[in-house]
Amino acid sequence: MALVAEAVDALPTWVHETMDNLEVLVDDEPPGEGPAEILGLYEGIPLTERNDDYGGVLPDRITLFCGPIEREARDSGSPLVEVIARTLRHEVAHHFGIDDDRLLQIDAY
């Protein structure tokens, strides 16, 4: 999805400079065992939990799910590009070690 690449490119420079060993993927739908409404998923070791032994590991992954993102945009009336960018920022926050509780505290979603 080209809009995902644009959202990644639009992240601030400091985010690009700080992200480490991370790839962003796009899939149609979340895995069967996950909630159907999940827009994105971060899998990996957050930067805040890495230590000197970190190395030789597969990249962390952020997966954005097209179906739920498109449904969210349609149902909320939000532009698709906005839902993609918000979802990406949310998952990048997890890469930086910010959990859902903290995101709620700072009114980030």
Which domain does 100 fall in, by range?
2-48+58-105
CA-to-CA separations, 67 to 26, 58, 95, in angstroms, rounded? 10, 26, 23
Banded model confidence at residue 65, pLDDT cuts 50, 70, 90: very high
Q: Where are the beta strands (DSSP E) in 1-109?
A: 22-27, 40-43, 60-65
Residue 53 belongs to some domain of the structure? no
Residue 8 has pLDDT above 80, yes or no: yes
CA gap 84, 70 in Å, rounded: 9
Q: Which residues pair with 43 in a beta bridge?
A: 61
Task: Assign residue 39 the CATH number of its domain.
Answer: 3.30.2010.20
Q: Are strands 22-27 and 60-65 parallel, antiparallel or unpaired?
A: parallel
Sign of CA dihedral 72, 85, 47, 21: positive
Banded model confidence at residue 103, pLDDT cuts 50, 70, 90: confident
* Residues 66-79 pLDDT 10s: 999 999 999 999 99
